[in-house]
Amino acid sequence: MSEIPRGAIRFNTDSNKPELWDGSQWAEFQLSTPNLGQGSDTQPGARGLTFGGGPASQSDVISYINISSTGDATDFGNLTQGQGVSGALASSTRGVRFGGGIPANTDTIDFVTIASTGDATDFGNLINSGRADSSASNATRGLRLSNTDNTIEYITIASTGDAQDFGDMTAGRAQTAALGNATRALEISGYTGSNVNTIDFVTITTLGNAQDFGDDTGVRAGGRGFSNTTRGVFGGGYNPTPYNDEINYLTIASTGNAVEFGSLSAGSRYGSAECSVTRGIFNLGESAPSSLLNTIEYVNISTQGDTVDFGDLPQTGYASAACSNGHGGL
């Protein structure tokens, strides 16, 4: 039998769904047509949300930006409780925030309707309380990837309810960056008692354990990431000081090591990130111990280079979570 080329597509008559060959297996995928606008480098309707964080990293504030238009963030509403070091993910309509560990570890899950400003509503509960969470999603399923144990949990974003078991990471670690497209979710670097450079991946539609993807260019924890449909970008973090300003990227469909992309304007950790399919946003977080920022910066995901100023969050702080209705998993 001849080798199947990466990117080949077939229709599975048993599941009545299309499948994509990622180089090692057939995986279900969803076709989507992003609205890129006329002459625009981003989706005009893509909205990014930032949850919690703040000066004491336990704010209940939700703010938002329109990713296609530089400018300061605007008030959206409030969480059901103040929280930091939590995770967030989104479908095209709903934003979800979960977990966290400041002031105490929690298993709560909140959600908002992205197009409508207002306060968050209870969604359900995680299996395990925890902090330093990271996450990724496709159009329908959201994954909680990072925690102090090695478990992966998932939710169906359109249906409120408790999280379910998905599988295990290759090792338990916290303070990771995570990103994904419609097929794969990746967890990058993090802390296991010391900082590591491990990159793992799972196929979002298929329950199971994570597999090795490759390595970051160096060890780090406390970074954040985003993606378009093909490329994942991540930056920031620490090991332990000075804080990291390095941005790296990888091709999500192809296992391998990360490659240098550019730099943030300042080394920072415990920020957050969101994106459209063309523009990625970094909220910088903490630039040194007790030195907190409210800076928002952006890059064009398809073009390597340094970040450009976007605007400001409504408060300085760190340990926020962020998501958008325009990311590559949709």
- The full 3-state SS of the chain, as one line of letters, equals CCCCCCCCEEEECCCCEEEEECCCCEEECCCCCCCCCCCCCCCCCCEEEEECCCCCCCCCEEEEEECCCCCCCEEEEECCCCCECCEEEECCCEEEEECCCECCCEEEEEEEECCCCCCCEEEEEEEEEECCCCEEECCCEEEECCECCCEEEEEECCCCCCCEEEEECCCCEECCEEEECCCEEEEEEEECCCEEEEEEEEECCCCCCCEEEEEEEEEEECCEEEECCCEEEEECCECCCCCCCEEEEEECCCCCCCEEEEECCCCCECCEEEECCCEEEEECCEEECCEEEEEEEEEECCCCCCCEEEEEEEEEECCCEEEECCCCCC
Residues 207, 319: one domain? yes
Q: Is residue 41 part of a domain?
A: no
Q: By the 8 A CB rule, do 117 and 49 touch?
A: no
pLDDT digits (tens, 9 = 90+) for 43-59: 678 999 999 987 776 88
**d(C-alpha 125, C-alpha 5), whole Å:** 41
Q: How confident is the model at residue 85 (pLDDT cuts 50, 70, 90)?
A: confident
Judged by average pLDDT, the poorest of 25-39, 53-67, 297-311 is 25-39
Average pLDDT of 118-142? 93
Average pLDDT of 212-223? 96
pLDDT reading at 306 higher than 80: yes
**d(C-alpha 328, C-alpha 318), whole Å:** 25
pLDDT digits (tens, 9 = 90+) for 229-261: 999 999 999 998 889 999 999 999 999 999 999
Q: Say what percent of the chain tops pLDDT 70.
A: 90
Look at residue 248 in the predicted model and tell me its pLDDT.
98
Q: Say what percent of the chain tops pLDDT 90.
A: 71
Q: How confident is the model at residue 97 (pLDDT cuts 50, 70, 90)?
A: very high
Judged by average pLDDT, the poorest of 132-136, 190-194, 265-269 is 132-136
Total of domains in the chain: 2
Q: Is residue 159 part of a domain?
A: yes
pLDDT digits (tens, 9 = 90+) for 167-203: 999 988 889 999 999 999 999 999 998 999 999 999 9
**d(C-alpha 248, C-alpha 232), whole Å:** 8
pLDDT reading at 217 higher than 70: yes
Q: By the 8 A CB rule, do 215 and 261 touch?
A: no
103 or 81: whose pLDDT is higher?
81
Residues 264, 211: one domain? yes
pLDDT reading at 12 higher than 90: no
Residues 23, 53: one domain? no
Domain interval for residue 100: 47-324
Q: How confident is the model at residue 269 (pLDDT cuts 50, 70, 90)?
A: very high
Look at residue 17 in the predicted model and tell me its pLDDT.
65
Residues 273, 135: one domain? yes
Look at residue 7 in the predicted model and tell me its pLDDT.
65
- Which residue in the block uniquely carries the two structure tokens 């990311």? 327
Residues 6, 138: one domain? no
Residues 16, 124: one domain? no
pLDDT reading at 268 higher than 50: yes
Look at residue 84 in the predicted model and tell me its pLDDT.
84
For 16, 72, 83, the CA distances from 227, given in Å and listed in that order, are: 28, 22, 25
Residues 121, 5: one domain? no
Judged by average pLDDT, the poorest of 61-70, 140-149, 175-184 is 140-149
Residues 114, 211: one domain? yes
**d(C-alpha 111, C-alpha 286), whole Å:** 26
Burial of 46 (0-12, 13-18, 19+ CB in 10 A): buried
Q: Is residue 36 part of a domain?
A: no
**d(C-alpha 235, C-alpha 39), whole Å:** 28
Residues 11, 152: one domain? no
Judged by average pLDDT, the poorest of 146-160, 218-232, 242-256 is 146-160
Look at residue 1 in the predicted model and tell me its pLDDT.
45
Residues 243, 129: one domain? yes
Residues 83, 162: one domain? yes
Residues 165, 263: one domain? yes
pLDDT reading at 38 higher than 70: no
Q: Which residues of 148-178 are buried (b: 16+ CB within 10 A; e: fewer)?
A: bebbbbbbebeeeeebeebbbbbebbbbbbb
